């Protein structure tokens, strides 16, 4: 063996390099293991009869014909499941919050179209679906609430009899003297903004396979979840089973984007039915079910105004947010998660001393809203950055310039934003500067002038934002929730064969965490990346974990992985000191080897493990007693979390005949701290922006006045394809690293946070000769056509 003598060569820096993903070979060859791929001996199939009413009393259910169909094994109603599963709701300590019970199958009433009413179990999915049509449900239609501004009125029909009103949460924020700020303003701007309802559309729809073992009295649930730990903990309460006898696994999961961060009725019903029948039960959602039942996103009306001084300085900001949260308060996040974030993040990365805001989460007869990529912040940024552009126009200032004047400067960190959030140092100004340089902002303005002279609708969009990522225990992801989103656990273990395993409470839905977390652990431990196996998405791996959401994977996984690997490395060094007869400070590790610096005395980590575990007598009893094993479990709490910031810029042109928006150029410049794998970081930005483009231009869940979903197929709910998403530039600014362990910031959501505002600003800029401001998105060709027509009429 060649003794390593060059530390730079033998301790390669894996973090920051383009390591090819270890997930890829299986996913590229059809050898992945998604929930829908699972087959078990004796497995039965489940399908749901869903409500076709938005609001109705259930007078009776007749399932006799369904039960008589050959191949049908059982039919369950809401009452049946209620007898098998304890009731649950999303509680919160937040003031002025009302939780709703969420029946796994409707009991007594249905409250949205798509709500599950009856579950049918059969020998095949085909037969189960045949039987659905044979169930007769007698409904008594009730008045339907589809408009949250009607639903919040004191005399409105109540959706839940046990609550005081349909306002599930209400909160106010205030700092400074807002009214005075508006009185002293050189200009004000504002109005009613509408950010419509969207839905995540993971290409893999939700699915579950529940297996109850009557002999072992244990439950195994494979499901498409981002939060296996949260699901496990709640199932333990719902079924009165101790945690260790419930194992929740998220195997290969086909995208999440927040849509898979909630506990879903179908998962509970699958477990209950498997327990009752003693058979594995499989349910796979079809696309129509997915579009109607997976937690919807956004859906807010925001009345907001900004006041600015002559030099562009923001003097004050006011916002009143009404969030349409659908029929129930989603578990675990509650009806607060989306609307409250809108007001928490509205002041954004800007210096704003005077702020007043109110938010109300209002129940309606629609699908529940939950977490979706960005959560609240796409709206915050849409409103805030639209307001900035509107104000800039009033005082005849360039959009990039008004941002430069208001973005928090490098010497002002940590900065306490008007809503109380604290920004740690992040490259706010540098992102703006580099985006302008990267896209050639000044040249584009000149080109725009020339295009305008030809009568073309060409616009440039700018949006800057800041988000909190890797949020630790200081702030709950949703206010007052009884779950701990502020820590994650990692166990690093080297076993008696010398193999390294890093286990996490996180779960992956395509982010490549098997690769990135292996990079982090390998670097810290001093082994090869390919020698670290990474376990994710399995509640039996660590004693507590919640999962992957809120741009936390890199910060929490990277942090906990670093701490656990460091602790194991210390044990390696102790044992090596004895075996290689050297002082511990002279021991180095790298590339799977352990050696005494500057000598040829070396051994492999594998041999060291064998010496400790298997070769009796090579390590003295005293040392073995002290070290126990080459294993460590560490919990990481980033406490405040850290700020991720970015500026997006784009160039659009609107076709004067079709009113279609063409995105010509797009740049993202973000500060996401130390980048673990640049290829993967770029991919996150690309995908996030693509979803933001969908939100800005195409995607909208539409309900009619009776609460029917008019967008229950991918024909009607349109997401971007390869021809609607432009090629984009992504630049990572690694400015001063944050104080998180490893220096990582989160980066999963940013693209979707910045893009809607950036594109809406570009469209408004293109149409500014007509005095048009985009106040509602998606800016579909139809909406733009109407705006142009009414502007021309006026």
Partner 1 sequence: MTDRISISVTVNGATHTADVEPRLLLADFIRENLDLTGTHVGCEHGICGACTILMNGDSVRSCLTLAVQADGAEIETVENLGDAENLGPLQQAFREHHALQCGFCTPGMLMTATDMLRKYPLETDEDIRDGLSGNICRCTGYQHIVDAVRAARDERDAK
Q: Which residues bind partner 1 (CB under 8 A)?
A: 20-21, 23-32, 34, 36-37, 39, 70, 126, 201-205, 252-255, 257, 286-287, 509-512, 679-680, 682-683, 685-691, 713-715, 719, 721-723, 725, 727-728, 751
226: which DSSP letter? S
Least CB distance to partner 1 at residue 208 (A) = 16
Looking only at the bridges linking them, the beta strands covering 532-535 and 587-590 are unpaired
Judged by beta carbon, residue 266 or residue 514, the one nearer partner 1 is 514
Judged by beta carbon, residue 125 or residue 245, the one nearer partner 1 is 125
b/e string for 283-305 if b means 16 or more Cβ within 10 A? Answer: bbbeeebbbbbbbbbbbbbbebb
Least CB distance to partner 1 at residue 202 (A) = 6
Least CB distance to partner 1 at residue 343 (A) = 29
Closest CA to 505 of 216, 209, 233, 208: 233
What's the residue count for the chain?
Answer: 794
Least CB distance to partner 1 at residue 372 (A) = 12
Least CB distance to partner 1 at residue 288 (A) = 8
Measured over the CA atoms of residue 62, residue 63, residue 64 and residue 65, the dihedral's sign is: positive
Q: Which residue has the tokens 């890797």?
A: 470
Least CB distance to partner 1 at residue 290 (A) = 9
Least CB distance to partner 1 at residue 612 (A) = 33
Judged by beta carbon, residue 36 or residue 152, the one nearer partner 1 is 36
Tell me the three state secondary structure of residue 725: coil
Tokens of 61: 């259910």
Judged by beta carbon, residue 45 or residue 175, the one nearer partner 1 is 45
Closest CA to 337 of 268, 261, 265, 267: 261
- Percent helix, strand and coil across the chain, each to the nearest 5: 30, 25, 40
Q: What is the distance in angstroms between the CA of the first residue and the CA of the last residue of the chain? A: 83
Judged by beta carbon, residue 579 or residue 680, the one nearer partner 1 is 680
Judged by beta carbon, residue 325 or residue 554, the one nearer partner 1 is 554
In angstroms, rounded to a whole number, what is the distance separating the alpha carbons of residues 639 and 633? 19
Backbone dihedral region for residue 765 (phi beyond 0: left; psi -120 to 50: alpha; all else: beta): alpha
Judged by beta carbon, residue 488 or residue 682, the one nearer partner 1 is 682
Judged by beta carbon, residue 114 or residue 486, the one nearer partner 1 is 114
List phi, psi (to 5°) of 89.
Answer: -155, 165
Q: Secondary structure of 498-554 in the HEC alphabet? A: CCEEEEECCCCCCCCHHHHHHHHHHHHHCCCHHHEEEECCECCCCCCCCCCCCCCHH
List phi, psi (to 5°) of 450.
Answer: -65, -40
Least CB distance to partner 1 at residue 305 (A) = 34
List phi, psi (to 5°) of 22.
Answer: -75, -20
Judged by beta carbon, residue 47 or residue 383, the one nearer partner 1 is 47
Least CB distance to partner 1 at residue 285 (A) = 10
Q: How many CB atoms are closer than 10 A to CB 416? A: 10
In angstroms, rounded to a whole number, what is the distance separating the alpha carbons of residues 490 and 484? 16
Q: How many CB atoms are closer than 10 A to CB 645? A: 30
Judged by beta carbon, residue 190 or residue 687, the one nearer partner 1 is 687
Least CB distance to partner 1 at residue 19 (A) = 11
């Amino acid at each position: 063996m060649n003794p390593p003598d060059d530390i730079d060569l033998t301790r390669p820096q894996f973090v920051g390099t383009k390591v090819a993903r270890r997930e890829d070979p299986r996913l590229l060859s059809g050898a992945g293991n998604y929930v829908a791929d699972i087959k078990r001996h004796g497995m039965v199939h489940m399908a749901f009869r869903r409500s076709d009413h938005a609001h109705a009393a259930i007078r009776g259910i007749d399932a006799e014909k369904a039960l008589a169909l050959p191949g049908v094994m059982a039919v369950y109603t809401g009452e049946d499941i209620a007898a098998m599963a304890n009731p649950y709701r999303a509680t919160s300590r937040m003031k002025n919050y009302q939780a709703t019970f969420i029946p796994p199958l409707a009991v007594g009433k249905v409250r949205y179209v798509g709500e599950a009413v009856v579950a049918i179990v059969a020998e095949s999915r085909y037969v189960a679906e045949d039987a659905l049509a044979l169930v007769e449900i007698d409904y008594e239609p009730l008045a339907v609430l589809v408009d949250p501004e009607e639903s919040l009125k004191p005399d409105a029909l109540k959706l839940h009899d046990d609550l005081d009103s349909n306002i599930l949460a209400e909160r106010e924020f205030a700092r400074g003297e807002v009214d005075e700020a508006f009185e002293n303003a050189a200009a004000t701007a504002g109005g009613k903004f509408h950010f419509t309802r969207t839905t995540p559309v993971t290409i893999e729809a939700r699915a579950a396979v529940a297996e109850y073992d009557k002999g072992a009295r244990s439950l195994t649930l494979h499901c498409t979840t981002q939060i296996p730990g949260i699901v496990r903990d709640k199932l333990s309460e719902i079924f009165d089973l101790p945690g260790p006898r419930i194992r929740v696994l998220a195997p290969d999961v086909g995208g999440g984007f927040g849509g898979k961060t909630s506990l879903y009725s179908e998962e509970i019903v699958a477990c209950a039915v498997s327990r009752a029948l003693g058979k594995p039960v499989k349910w796979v959602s079809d696309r129509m079910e997915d579009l109607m039942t997976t937690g919807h996103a956004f859906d807010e009306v925001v009345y907001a105004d900004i006041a600015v001084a002559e030099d562009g300085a923001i003097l004050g900001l006011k916002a009143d947010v009404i969030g349409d949260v659908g029929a129930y308060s989603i578990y675990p996040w509650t009806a607060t998660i989306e609307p409250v974030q809108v007001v928490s993040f509205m002041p954004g990365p800007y210096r704003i001393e005077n702020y007043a805001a109110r938010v109300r989460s209002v129940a309606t007869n629609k699908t529940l809203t939950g977490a979706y990529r960005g959560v609240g912040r796409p709206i915050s940024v849409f409103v805030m950055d639209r307001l900035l552009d509107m104000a800039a126009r009033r005082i005849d200032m360039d959009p990039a310039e008004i941002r430069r004047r208001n973005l928090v400067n490098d010497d002002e960190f940590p900065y306490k934003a008007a809503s109380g959030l604290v920004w740690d140092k992040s490259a706010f100004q540098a992102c703006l500067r580099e985006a302008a340089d990267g896209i050639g902002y000044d040249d584009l303005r000149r080109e725009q002038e020339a295009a305008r002279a030809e009568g073309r609708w060409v616009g440039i969009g700018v949006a800057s934002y800041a988000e909190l990522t890797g949020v630790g225990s200081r702030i709950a992801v949703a206010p007052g929730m009884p779950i701990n989103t502020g820590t994650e656990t990692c166990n690093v273990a080297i076993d008696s064969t010398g193999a390294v395993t890093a286990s996490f409470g996180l779960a992956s839905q395509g982010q490549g965490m098997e690769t990135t977390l292996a990079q982090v652990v390998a670097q810290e431990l001093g082994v090869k990346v390919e020698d670290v196996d990474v376990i994710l998405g399995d509640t039996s791996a660590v004693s507590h974990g919640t999962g992957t959401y809120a741009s936390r994977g890199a910060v929490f996984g990277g942090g906990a992985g670093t701490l656990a690997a460091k602790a194991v490395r210390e044990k390696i060094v102790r044992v090596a000191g004895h075996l290689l007869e050297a002082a511990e400070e002279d021991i180095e590790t790298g590339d799977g080897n352990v050696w005494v610096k500057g000598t040829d005395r070396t051994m492999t980590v594998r041999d060291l493990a064998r010496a400790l575990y298997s070769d009796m007598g090579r390590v003295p009893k005293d040392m073995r007693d002290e070290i126990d094993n080459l294993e460590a479990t560490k919990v990481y709490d980033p406490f405040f979390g850290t700020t991720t910031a970015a500026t997006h810029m784009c160039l659009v042109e609107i076709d004067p005949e079709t009113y279609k928006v063409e995105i010509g150029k797009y740049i993202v410049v973000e500060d996401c701290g130390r980048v673990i794998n640049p290829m993967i970081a770029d991919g996150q930005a690309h995908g996030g922006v693509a979803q933001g483009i969908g939100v800005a231009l195409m995607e909208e869940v539409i309900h009619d006045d009776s609460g029917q979903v008019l967008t229950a197929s991918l024909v009607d709910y349109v997401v971007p394809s390869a021809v609607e998403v432009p090629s984009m530039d992504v630049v990572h600014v690694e400015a001063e690293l944050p104080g998180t362990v490893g220096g990582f910031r989160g980066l999963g959501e940013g693209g979707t946070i910045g893009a809607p505002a950036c594109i809406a600003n570009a469209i408004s800029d293109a149409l500014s000769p007509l005095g048009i401001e985009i106040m509602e998105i998606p800016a579909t060709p139809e909406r733009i056509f109407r705006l142009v027509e009414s502007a021309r009429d006026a």
